[in-house]
Structure 1
Amino acid sequence: MADNKTYYYLKLKENFFDSEDMKLLQGMKDGYLYSDILLKLYLISLSQDGRLMYRGIIPYTPEMVATVTRHQVGTVEKAMDVLGKMGFIEILDNGAIYMLDIQNFIGQSSTEADRKREYRNLINTEKKRICGNSNVSDVGQMAGQMSKQKSDKSTPEYREQSKEIREESLESREQSTEIFAVSKDTVSRTDVQRAVEEWNSLAVYGLRPVSKLTSGTKRAKCLNARIKEYGIDEVLAAIERIKNSDFLKGNNKSGWMITFDWFVLPNNFPKVHDGYYENSTPQPQNGGSQSHVEQFADFARGWAGDE
């Protein structure tokens, strides 16, 4: 019987522990415990492309990290502080943890440059979404200030300097490996992840989040098709429009709420994308007939079931 499971693995070079960063880390008091926590976080984050957020929406607390790494909470708190200062991880204001070097250890070398660039863009995009600021450098400064306020022991200058060195090294490696172009028909895992995470942010309005997106299923194929057709930015914009629609959030006669599987269908997505359901759409007066919005939704619900 064929094995259809997806396996994730970490590729470490034989001199991994001989790097200056790892020598400095393990040279500290309890440094070997910190490096063990680091490797376990690398492995846990593999299925999310280096991003740590439980089920995609719940930030990992020190207690949760202690549970999954089998270390004391106090040790985990010290380790996270050290790993952040040394540039191994970055913790965003929403609690998402990014393993900054993990793109060196996963995937194929032919796609390495593109994957690393997408990963850095993903982090910056999430920063901008959290802070509501389009200037990436300003967001970086704000994140540094927040970290400094949280801990008197934090040293933003050291962290920023370490990050700049790593990014310069990353750019140098990208120049030597950027040989192959990604096909226009390819939808990256990063784009799919961004769309799912943006959808799951609607859970605060009571909408059902996506807990599973298996390759080859109807919902996965539909999402890939919408990303190819419109581009990831337009898909994210369409999800954002849902926030401006009381109707899609359940404020209608039947109490129906939009679902992910309904949203990605080819006949439904354009309506949401074009703002068909937004609050500015005229609604019927009390006692009047159904609006064209409700009529369309009733028709669509009749044949578009959730997966």
Structure 2
Amino acid sequence: MGTNNKYYWIKLNTNFFIQREVKSIRRTENGLLYIVIYLKLLLLSANTGGLLIFENTEDNLIEELSIEIDEEYEDVTNAIKILQKKNLININSNDEFFLNKAPDMVGSETAAAERMRRSRAKKKEIEKNVTMLQDVTNCYTDKDKEIDKDIKIDDDKAKYISEINNLIKNKISSSSLDNFINRFGVNKLDPLISEIKDSDYLKGNINFNNLSDDFIDKAISGKYKTYKNDDSSNDEDEVNIYAGVEPIRGYIK
């Protein structure tokens, strides 16, 4: 198994089964089955940040999902309908569903981080029973530092995914965030998120799967900042002349 492999999981809060939406689903006919299907879909979408995407292996996405989670087509269809009604799933299109609470429930860990975690656990167990030399117990190698760095990067990505998904309509997954970072660098994420917070235009139009360098530079520079009329100022330099511009073809959805 390669050192870059990652493991994903979902984290269930202790109040999961007493949430109003879950309790309401459970009281319906076949409610327990629909909750099981919901959990299976959460697990299935863990490595995509909540996205379920049609892969053209069957006639439609629901048929693919029913095969993947080993549940009847009709049951999956009914489960998705009730999950949509409870605002637990968003039907972006016939080819893409999004589990709204997944970003806050998904955790991940690189293979290297898992090995280090197990190694540290084993080391702590040994230290309970064996007195080790000071220069051994205090050893902190460059490899340890790199693994800790990987863990921090994973944590930062999870925070970015959660923050961006709270701002925009087009949902962002782990893969689309990785593509963005590889292309534009992580240093452009913070100013871009800052601009999205202040721009209704960006919230409704930015698509992380289809961006150009020109669009990113203009967004970060404030071109798409929401215009706010301020009667207290007559300084033309403070007026955003780009407010209310039409969508730029090829840059946004």
Structure with the largest fraction of strand: 2
TM-score, structure 1 length as denominator?
Answer: 0.41
Greater relative contact order structure (CA < 8 Å, 6+ sep)? 2
